[in-house]
Amino acid sequence: MNSIRTIQAMRGIAAIAVAFYHVYIIARQVSPGSSVVMEQLARHGFMGVNFFFVLSGFIILMAHEKDIGQVDRLKNYISKRALRIYPAYWIFTTLYVIAALMGLGDSDFSTKPLDLLSSYTLLQISPDKVVPPLKVAWTLFYEVQFYIAFSLLIVSRRLGFTLLGIWFASICVGLASGTEAVDSRLLSPWNVYFFVGMAVFILYKRISNFGAMIAGAAAACLLLYYFLTYNLDIHEFHREYGYLHFLLAPAFGLLILGIAGLEKTQNWSIPYPLQFLGDASYSIYLVHSAVISVAAIVLRKIGLHMHDSVGLYLIVFASSVIAGCAAYLIVERPLTRRLKPAMFLKASQVNS
C-alpha cells in the first residue's frame, strides 16, 4: 500500500507536541515554583506520545500486512525496523553521553555496563530500572517491545494473533484489577495504543467518506471531553488515572481514521512542510529535549527565563524543532541512505 500523506503529517504533529510540552517541563525545572506561560496548553503536549503510539500500530500493520504468516520475510522485517530506529538513536545517544561525561549536560543516568547495554539495545537487559541517557527513549522501549510482538505474526499468523490477544487481555485485566501492572512495561496500558492503531488500519481499508466524517466527529467529541474534564500531567495521567488510556487510545484512533479516511475518499493534498515534519519527526523527537535544555541554561546565564515570556518560550520551541529538522537532514537521512543498501532494503521501504 502506498504511503498516506496525512499519516506522515500526523507524525510530525505528534513530535512537535512533545517538544512544546518539554519546553514547559524544562522551564519549570529551571525556575521551580514559578508558573509557566502557556501552561494550560503546554501541559497537554505529552499526549503526542499517545498519538504517536497509535500511529505506530497503524504504520506497522500497513507496512507489514503482507508479511504476516510469511516466516521467510522475518529477516527483512527485522532489518527494516532496526534501520528505522537504531542508527540515528545510537549516534544521538552517544553524543549526549559524551557531552554529559564532559560536564556539558546532566549525567543523571547509570554508566553500569548492563544499564548502558539496555539503553543502547532498548531492551530490558539490566535487572535494574533503566533511565536512558536520552530521557525520551523510554517510549522507544515500548516501540521495540511492540516490534518484537508483531514479529510473532510474521512467524505464524495463528500463533501471533493468539499471543497478541492474550497480551491485550492481560493488560486490560491488570488495569481493571488495580494491580501494579502499571509499572510493568509488558503489561502497561501504554501498549493499548499499538493495538488500537492496528485496528484503525483494518477499518481504514474499508472506510467510506461518511464513515471518515463520523470518526473525525467522534474523535473531536472524545478529545473535547478530555480537555474540558481533565488537566493532568503525564505522571498523574498514567499513575492516578490509568483508565483514561482507554479514552485517549480510541480518541486518537478515531482521529487518525477520520483524517486518513478523508484523505483517501477526498484525495486531500497535504502541504510539503507538514510532510517534511513527518519525515523529520524521529530526529525532532530525539534531539529536541537537549536543545531546549541548552537554551534554558544559556538564557539563565544572561538573566532571561522561558517561564515568564511567551516570546522566549516560542523561540526555544521553534529552535528545538529546527534543530531536529537539521539533525534529520545532516544525520538521520544520509545515514539511513548509506546503510540501506548494506541491509538489502528497497528505498521505498525506509520511511514506513
pLDDT tens for the chain, 352 residues long, are 557 999 999 999 999 999 999 999 999 988 887 888 999 899 999 999 999 999 999 999 999 999 999 999 999 999 999 999 999 999 999 999 998 888 776 677 888 899 999 999 999 998 888 889 999 999 999 999 999 999 999 999 999 999 999 999 999 888 877 655 556 899 999 999 999 999 999 999 999 999 999 999 999 999 999 999 998 888 888 878 888 999 999 999 999 999 999 999 998 888 999 999 999 999 999 999 999 999 998 998 999 988 889 999 999 999 999 999 999 999 999 999 999 887 654 544 544 5
Burial track 295-315 (b if 16+ CB lie within 10 A, e otherwise):
bbeebeeeeebbbeeeebbee
Give the range of the structural domain holding residue 120, as residue numbers without chain letter: 5-349
**Closest by Cα among 138, 93, 99, 49 to 130:** 138
**Closest by Cα among 341, 343, 338, 337 to 351:** 337
Q: How many Cα atoms are found within 13 Å in the side-chain-facing hemisphere of 63?
A: 23
Model pTM? 0.93
For residue 302, how far is the Cα from the chain centroid? 34
157-166: long-range contacts at Cβ-Cβ below 8 A with a sequence spacing of 24 or more?
157/68, 157/69, 160/68, 164/195
- In the chain, how many domains are there? 1
